[in-house]
Chains A and B, each alone.
Chain A
């Protein structure tokens, strides 16, 4: 028998898509039955109370969670988000219901022994409810109480060899696409950069010293499966410099219908026979391809590596061999000054361990942003306020045409004094000798 009637939430149990309501009920029932005789360290009925308070929100259309309080583990300034219910008497099980972020392994491969260990820990010391995963990438443990935080941290570090993720004005848990591990498009080892930089910047991740949050994301090719260009202050997107490799016999196999174009992604509709001219050559954004009826040719110098031809004929076309990545900076969601995407800062960087060249750029950006960024100002906003030119100066990168889609629309140029013959100190008397007042 459910603790609270949830007539509205119950309507989210039907339909084919996995129901989170059914799953929470399942956990509530499991904790009520307690077959393993667990001495739950937070109220056993917290999943029931979560359903209860959620039903209340479904009734009045408003959230019932208060601002996060300052809670955490000793020595860290992030990783735990305090959460309190604004109806603590009615829903005592979730009166204190803090979130714990656990840093996920890059690209989220798991072995079941690790996950089972995590489940046992969270069943004992928390609500038994999680997010797999939060938007940034962390394993999110939803709902525990303050006395459990140090215990959780102790067990995570001592028994699971794993650490908390980021929250607040610090480096957030970086995330990567699966890259080389299972993708033929990967231009660099996104998981390894992600892991190494996460390790190297543990202090920045756990101890807030930034004006606001800072996110790294690593996409190993321009397809952008982890959306780094949209949501990371520092985005590393794989690319290459040399020629796309062509297997002409495989091109013929696509044209002849032996290979399924676009890796089978369009199998749900009859789009007609594959037309390499219309579907590949004509859709090339730079028109740098030709099909002569027998062979594909590419003017690689003009290619902007959009991936369309490679995505469409993955068995015939392959990324080049001179691989690396582009660095784009400053992406963020709308709050406050509007959404921004990452802007190209470094057109090409080699991505080889220990990634010193990349770290040098990151650290120059941080030094500047920590000095000149305002409170709660994302890097992208600092760049807009202080100019892209300033970003180039602090990172020591020379301006180049690739940095812009088009040159500026106005001549209001901030020339530097040293760029102007004679500087800015001028002789008024000499001027007046030429021009009467």
Chain B
């Protein structure tokens, strides 16, 4: 490999340096019919799962074909997306917040050709490259985090369980039979760099063992006071310990206070927390971000722990599928999962789903916990 210079001169880093220019302006990339009708849209309709039409005051119609995608994407795949956009959409496309790809055109014949083309494109392993769907009262793509692919704190993988869950609920990516949209998201630890805490179904990687202390390295790798300060439950304290016959500055963990958040590990690499047997996934349900009908809601933990059953997480996927089916069978039209659970009561949610209610599911973290207990004689047997 010969080093190829971009023109950057490391001797003179400020020479010709361009900084703080920000992203490209959004409207440079608008398709012409979007630029023309911006702010003048009358209404939209989902013609079939994954295909939308937006109608403008001008009478213009824009058709959108939405496809699922793995957010981990190679340049080879992106180039294929570009080839499709060049062929059918004059070189324009967009991505959605939920990692879907949208191809837009103002021509209904192009929609037909595009759909047929997308349907036949498959990866060598057999999976579809561009499944059409993700609209309306169905299950759209999963928003997720990095997992074992690229993160140092995960308690589970992200891309793996997402693939397994989407395979399981795939029919509902391409259908509108749900009472309302079902938004699934996955965060590989409780940092939750995705918005898992307000999803219809949130899958969250959790640790279950307190961190170990690497006494040999604690004082060298870490600012011990920062590690101490990082603990939300005061389980981390400074400590002098005997290590190989020497007194060293290190850290002690009060195990019974630890809630396994991993924040100390983020501050101090000498406190490794992940553990193959300890780590796994919790399931949270009933959250939403939309203000429609009821106010936005947090998701609630309904399954405290499912082990990381690689490579396809069968217990996790079966549990998600089961919750979806019980919801679909029982909720009223327009009712989000959380609205349904609140209408019937959470005790009924557990009896209908058959999920076991255990002590893990009673909140005991900080003052808001009290407001989740039942201050009433109104409950269901």
Instruction: List, in ascending order, chain B residues with CB within 8 A of A225's CB.
Output: 97
**Contact present for B70 and A19 (CB under 8 Å):** yes
Mark each residue of chain B from 64 to 99: 1 if its CB lies under 8 Å from any CB of chain A, else 0. Answer: 100011111111111101100110000111111101
Q: Which of these, B28, B69, B308, contacts A61 with CB under 8 Å? A: B308
Tell yes or no: B43 within 8 A of A by CB.
Answer: yes
Instruction: List, in ascending order, chain B residues with CB within 8 A of A15's CB.
Output: 126-127, 163-164, 167, 170
**Contact present for B290 and A12 (CB under 8 Å):** no
Q: With A26-B76, A119-B78, A184-B42 in contact, is A76–B190 under 8 Å at CB?
A: no
Distance between Cα atoms of A25 and B178 in the complex (Å): 35
Instruction: List, in ascending order, chain A residues with CB within 8 A of B263's CB.
Output: 335-336
Q: With A154-B7, A265-B136, A283-B334 in contact, is A18–B128 under 8 Å at CB?
A: yes
Q: Which of these, B27, B30, B266, B276, contacts A62 with CB under 8 Å? A: B276
Tell yes or no: A279 within 8 A of B by CB.
Answer: yes
Tell yes or no: A372 within 8 A of B by CB.
Answer: no
Q: Which of these, A113, A134, A376, contacts B230 with CB under 8 Å? A: A376
Q: Which of these, B73, B124, B290, contacts A222 with CB under 8 Å? A: B290
Distance between Cα atoms of A186 and B44 in the complex (Å): 13
Q: Interface stretch among A337-345, A356-364, A396-404, A419-427?
A: A337-345
Tell yes or no: A96 within 8 A of B by CB.
Answer: no
Shortest Cβ distance from B156 into A: residue: A61
Of all A-B residue pairs in the complex, the 6 with the closest CB atoms, nearest first, are: A13-B125, A265-B136, A61-B276, A15-B167, A268-B176, A333-B192
Tell yes or no: B289 within 8 A of A by CB.
Answer: yes
**Contact present for A62 and B274 (CB under 8 Å):** yes
A8, A24, A133, A334: most-surrounded residue (chain B CB, <10 A):
A334
Instruction: List, in ascending order, chain A residues with CB within 8 A of B151's CB.
Output: 63, 65
**Contact present for B291 and A30 (CB under 8 Å):** no
Q: Which of these, B26, B137, B294, contacts A106 with CB under 8 Å? A: B26
Instruction: List, in ascending order, chain B residues with CB within 8 A of A265's CB.
Output: 46, 135-137, 176, 181
Q: Interface stretch among B13-21, B239-247, B318-326, B351-359?
A: B13-21
**Contact present for B70 and A23 (CB under 8 Å):** yes
Q: With A26-B74, A30-B76, A279-B333 in contact, is A157–B310 under 8 Å at CB?
A: no
Interface size on A, residues (CB 8 A): 152
Q: With A18-B127, A224-B296 in contact, is A119–B43 under 8 Å at CB?
A: no
**Contact present for B22 and A268 (CB under 8 Å):** no
Tell me how far the C-beta of B108 lies from the nearest C-beta in chain A, rounded to whole angstroms. Answer: 16
Q: Interface stretch among B109-117, B142-150, B248-256?
A: B142-150
Tell yes or no: B235 within 8 A of A by CB.
Answer: no
Q: With A27-B76, A39-B4, A222-B291 in contact, is A136–B193 under 8 Å at CB?
A: yes
Q: A18-B130, A183-B41 are in contact. List 6 more A-B contacts (CB 8 A).
A: A111-B28, A151-B5, A163-B19, A206-B19, A311-B292, A315-B43
Tell me how far the C-beta of A273 lies from the nearest C-beta in chain B, rounded to whole angstroms. Answer: 12
Tell yes or no: B201 within 8 A of A by CB.
Answer: no
Distance between Cα atoms of A205 and B20 in the complex (Å): 9
Tell me how far the C-beta of A110 lies from the nearest C-beta in chain B, rounded to whole angstroms. Answer: 5
**Contact present for B150 and A157 (CB under 8 Å):** no
**Contact present for B13 and A19 (CB under 8 Å):** no
Tell yes or no: A271 within 8 A of B by CB.
Answer: yes
Q: Provide 19 A-B residue pairs closer than 8 Å at the C-beta atoms, listed in order of the A residue.
A: A13-B125, A14-B126, A17-B127, A17-B128, A25-B124, A30-B74, A41-B1, A61-B275, A63-B151, A109-B34, A109-B94, A115-B78, A142-B150, A150-B8, A154-B8, A158-B6, A163-B23, A224-B290, A333-B190
Q: Which of these, B46, B72, B143, contacts A142 with CB under 8 Å? A: B72
Distance between Cα atoms of A9 and B312 in the complex (Å): 9
**Contact present for B30 and A16 (CB under 8 Å):** no
Tell me how far the C-beta of A397 lies from the nearest C-beta in chain B, rounded to whole angstroms. Answer: 21
**Contact present for B296 and A229 (CB under 8 Å):** yes
**Contact present for A269 and B6 (CB under 8 Å):** no
Mark each residue of chain A from 120 to 148: 1 if its CB lies under 8 Å from any CB of chain B, else 0. Answer: 00111000111111111100001100010
Mark each residue of chain A from 98 to 125: 1 if its CB lies under 8 Å from any CB of chain B, else 0. Answer: 0100011111111111111011001110
Tell yes or no: A281 within 8 A of B by CB.
Answer: no
Tell yes or no: A258 within 8 A of B by CB.
Answer: no
Tell yes or no: B298 within 8 A of A by CB.
Answer: yes
**Contact present for B294 and A285 (CB under 8 Å):** yes
Distance between Cα atoms of A106 and B24 in the complex (Å): 8
Mark each residue of chain A from 231 to 250: 1 if its CB lies under 8 Å from any CB of chain B, else 0. Answer: 10000010000000000000
- Residues of chain B having any CB pair with chain A under 8 Å: 1-8, 10, 13-14, 16-31, 34, 38-39, 41-49, 54, 62, 64, 68-79, 81-82, 85-86, 91-97, 99, 104, 123-131, 135-138, 143-154, 157, 159-160, 163-164, 166-167, 170, 173, 175-178, 181, 187, 190-198, 226, 229-230, 232, 261, 263, 266, 269, 274-277, 279, 287, 289-294, 296, 298, 308, 310-312, 333-334, 365-366, 368
Q: With A18-B123, A131-B73 in contact, is A266–B129 under 8 Å at CB?
A: no
Tell yes or no: A293 within 8 A of B by CB.
Answer: no
**Contact present for A307 and B23 (CB under 8 Å):** no
Distance between Cα atoms of A39 and B126 in the complex (Å): 31
Tell me how far the C-beta of A348 lies from the nearest C-beta in chain B, rounded to whole angstroms. Answer: 15
Instruction: List, in ascending order, chain B residues with CB within 8 A of A435's CB.
Output: none
User: Which chain A residues numbered 250 to 295 have a C-beta less than 8 Å away from chain B?
Assistant: 260, 262-269, 271, 279, 283, 285
Distance between Cα atoms of A86 and B232 in the complex (Å): 28
Tell me how far the C-beta of B223 lies from the nearest C-beta in chain A, rounded to whole angstroms. Answer: 11
Tell me how far the C-beta of A401 lies from the nearest C-beta in chain B, rounded to whole angstroms. Answer: 16
Chain B, interface SS category: loop
**Contact present for B167 and A17 (CB under 8 Å):** yes
Tell me how far the C-beta of A134 lies from the nearest C-beta in chain B, rounded to whole angstroms. Answer: 8
Distance between Cα atoms of A172 and B291 in the complex (Å): 25
Q: With A64-B148, A109-B92, A337-B366 in contact, is A103–B23 under 8 Å at CB?
A: yes
Distance between Cα atoms of A307 and B366 in the complex (Å): 34
Distance between Cα atoms of A178 and B135 in the complex (Å): 15
**Contact present for B292 and A306 (CB under 8 Å):** yes
Instruction: List, in ascending order, chain A residues with CB within 8 A of B310's CB.
Output: 8, 58-59, 61
Tell me how far the C-beta of A92 lies from the nearest C-beta in chain B, rounded to whole angstroms. Answer: 13
Instruction: List, in ascending order, chain B residues with CB within 8 A of A368's CB.
Output: none
**Contact present for A341 and B296 (CB under 8 Å):** yes
Instruction: List, in ascending order, chain A residues with CB within 8 A of B94's CB.
Output: 107-110, 178
Tell me how far the C-beta of B188 lies from the nearest C-beta in chain A, rounded to whole angstroms. Answer: 8
Instruction: List, in ascending order, chain B residues with CB within 8 A of A76's CB.
Output: 19
Instruction: List, in ascending order, chain B residues with CB within 8 A of A18's CB.
Output: 68-70, 123, 127-131, 163
Tell me how far the C-beta of B141 lies from the nearest C-beta in chain A, rounded to whole angstroms. Answer: 9
**Contact present for B176 and A267 (CB under 8 Å):** yes
Instruction: List, in ascending order, chain B residues with CB within 8 A of A163's CB.
Output: 19-23
Instruction: List, in ascending order, chain A residues with CB within 8 A of B47's CB.
Output: 264
**Contact present for A63 and B148 (CB under 8 Å):** yes
**Contact present for A184 and B22 (CB under 8 Å):** no
Tell yes or no: A21 within 8 A of B by CB.
Answer: yes
Distance between Cα atoms of A344 and B277 in the complex (Å): 42
Q: With A14-B126, A17-B163, A58-B311 in contact, is A63–B46 under 8 Å at CB?
A: no
A47, A123, A131, A230: most-surrounded residue (chain B CB, <10 A):
A230
A60, A175, A182, A267: most-surrounded residue (chain B CB, <10 A):
A182
**Contact present for A308 and B292 (CB under 8 Å):** yes
Tell yes or no: A181 within 8 A of B by CB.
Answer: yes
**Contact present for B99 and A22 (CB under 8 Å):** no
**Contact present for A308 and B293 (CB under 8 Å):** yes
